Chain A
Amino acid sequence: MTPPTATPADAPATAPTAAPVQATVVDRIDRVAEDVVALTLRGTGGPLAPWEPGAHIDLRLPNWLTRQYSLCGDPADRDTYRVAVRHDRLSRGGSEYVHRFLRRDRPLPVSLPRNHFPLLPAPRYLFVAGGIGITPVLPMLRAAVRAGVPANLLYVGPSPDAMPFAAELRAALGDMVRVVATRSEGRPDLGALAAELDEDSLVYCCGPAPLLAAAAQVFPAQRLYTERFRPLARTFGPDTAFEVLCRRSGRTVAVPSDESMLDALTHAGHPLPAGCREGVCGSCELAVAEGEVEHRDDLGAPEGRMYPCVSRARSPRLVVDL
């Protein structure tokens, strides 16, 4: 018999790629609301990469899952990152792992920070946060206070017990913060808030889809910045097959109509970092040199870039930087 072409027994094609990671250990796990824990992650290889308010990182969990969480600590602290994680009842294994099985002092590799929700300079801010959507807003609010820029926060959640950091925020910032518990008080009147909004205010909103939809109805679009946990429900044309030429490897990969471009590339041996697979996290960002992209993400891809987890091609072929 000829020498065996041993079947590579491990490493399915979906194994994570060697994207840059930072080594951390889980320094603290604190319960900050009834279904939310805050993790303090201490860098073990020197100072952690810098970040700006609105940034998020990927956690590479021990169960091989990668999940994105907004940084909610202090950007000036280069020794630790802080994130807060809500336990999703329909967890596919990320938040459940963090809540039930993650342990103190265990290593937890994380990505470099990415920011799709940057805080732009403005003379005043209105922040609107829903539930765990408070996390990216916390450092934004602190930055505004530190810079002496007038800022207000409307923080909406079902009940005070389910709203992380609500009590601390009220204690530290007093009337700047309005906490609305919808179960006892009903939904806040965003329209009234919009009517009082100063001409020069920027509005930053992060939370569940209904809150973002309500905000989009009342605040002027050019002054409203949002971050979504889940993609906006939209309909697209039928998925069609197309080809991707990987410029660096010279390989052409066929993307069938029933597969995402991300999966097709991964299965063809071009694994990309993958996070949400819903076009909201930005992990799989890819440079496109030629071809017409049908963008389906909720991030707004920069010029010449795309998110192949959801986006596809309008032209028969795309040329990408792989």
Chain B
Amino acid sequence: MTHAATRIRSVGPREVRARLGLPDAMTASKKTDRLDEHFRRFIAHSPFLTMATADAEGRADCSPRGDYPGFVKVLDDRTLAIPDRPGNKIADSFGNLAENDGVGLLFLVPGMRETLRVNGRARATDEPDVLTRMEVEGRRPVLAVVVEVTEVYFHCGRALIRSRLWDPASRALADELPSVGEVAVEQYGLDVPPEVLERRLQDGYRKLY
């Protein structure tokens, strides 16, 4: 018995292009490699991004990064830096970047339907001047990811419009999900009341830096 991903038929690149048609000239030409004032303003107001990396074999990974708006520092019109805040210490992104420096970023601004796409080459740094600019609560991150921008452009808002992502009513979706504590108890077969796990998680969330 094979799983669906191996059974479902594939469509090759030429076929994909034939089905979709071509982008219009403006869309095709909007990519640039410079962070102009508009891109910088977007980044300065963005508290959240996703960061996609892959290892040497192309095994891909995508992780969330978030902080106060402008937590990503634009160092010049080709360079930005993302602080590495305390997390699960798995460091998938750093592991990938050590093998393959390609990175894809998607910046979001709450309330804004358009998103910002930034692709480039990335590496880890501990440059003191960069880390100093990232201090929060008097704590500076130990590491940051420096990205040399190769492509930057705004992505149209259709996905966010269709997803109703910023519609306050959409938040009711979260009420239909079990708590993380309940999920953990079931997934790992733990003999602990979910509330205990939930409380432990909440305590952990109090300390963010």
- Interface size bucket, A side? 20 to 34
A267 and B206 contact, Cβ closer than 8 Å, known pairs A7-B180, A93-B70: yes
When the two chains form the complex, which single residue of B44, B137, B174, B206 contacts A63, counting CB atoms closer than 8 Å? Answer: B44
CA distance A2 to B69 in the complex (A): 36
Tell me the minimal C-beta distance from A244 to chain B in angstroms: 15
15 pairs from A and B in contact (CB 8 Å cutoff): A4-B174, A4-B177, A5-B181, A9-B171, A13-B208, A14-B137, A62-B69, A63-B69, A63-B70, A64-B47, A64-B69, A90-B132, A92-B134, A97-B44, A309-B138
> Would you call B19 an interface residue if the criterion is a C-beta within 8 Å of the partner chain's C-beta atoms?
no
When the two chains form the complex, which single residue of A93, A96, A278 contacts B68, counting CB atoms closer than 8 Å? Answer: A93
Looking at chain A's contact residues, the main secondary structure is loop
Tell me the minimal C-beta distance from B175 to chain A in angstroms: 6
> Would you call B120 an interface residue if the criterion is a C-beta within 8 Å of the partner chain's C-beta atoms?
no
User: When the two chains form their complex, are residues B174 and A267 in contact, meaning their CB atoms are under 8 A apart?
Assistant: no
CA distance A206 to B76 in the complex (A): 32
- In chain B, what residue has the closest Cβ to A101? B44
Tell me the minimal C-beta distance from A254 to chain B in angstroms: 12
Per-residue CB proximity of B178-209 to A under 8 Å, as 1/0?
11111000000000001100100110011110
Per-residue CB proximity of A91-115 to B under 8 Å, as 1/0?
1110011001100000000000000
Tell me the minimal C-beta distance from A257 to chain B in angstroms: 14
User: When the two chains form their complex, are residues A4 and B70 in contact, meaning their CB atoms are under 8 A apart?
Assistant: no
> Would you call A32 an interface residue if the criterion is a C-beta within 8 Å of the partner chain's C-beta atoms?
no
> Would you call A65 an interface residue if the criterion is a C-beta within 8 Å of the partner chain's C-beta atoms?
yes
CA distance A273 to B197 in the complex (A): 31
> Would you call A260 an interface residue if the criterion is a C-beta within 8 Å of the partner chain's C-beta atoms?
yes
> Would you call A263 an interface residue if the criterion is a C-beta within 8 Å of the partner chain's C-beta atoms?
yes
Tell me the minimal C-beta distance from B189 to chain A in angstroms: 16
User: When the two chains form their complex, are residues B174 and A6 in contact, meaning their CB atoms are under 8 A apart?
Assistant: yes
> Would you call A314 an interface residue if the criterion is a C-beta within 8 Å of the partner chain's C-beta atoms?
no
Residue of B70, B134, B180, B194 ringed by the most chain A CB atoms within 10 A: B70
> Would you call B65 an interface residue if the criterion is a C-beta within 8 Å of the partner chain's C-beta atoms?
no
**Which B residues are CB-close (under 8 A) to A100?**
40-41, 44
> Would you call B45 an interface residue if the criterion is a C-beta within 8 Å of the partner chain's C-beta atoms?
yes
**Which B residues are CB-close (under 8 A) to A9?**
171, 174
A58-93: which have CB < 8 Å to B?
62-65, 90-93
Residue of A2, A13, A90, A92 ringed by the most chain B CB atoms within 10 A: A92
**Which B residues are CB-close (under 8 A) to A267?**
206-207
CA distance A13 to B136 in the complex (A): 13
User: When the two chains form their complex, are residues B129 and A90 in contact, meaning their CB atoms are under 8 A apart?
Assistant: yes
**Which A residues are CB-close (under 8 A) to B44?**
63, 96-97, 100-101
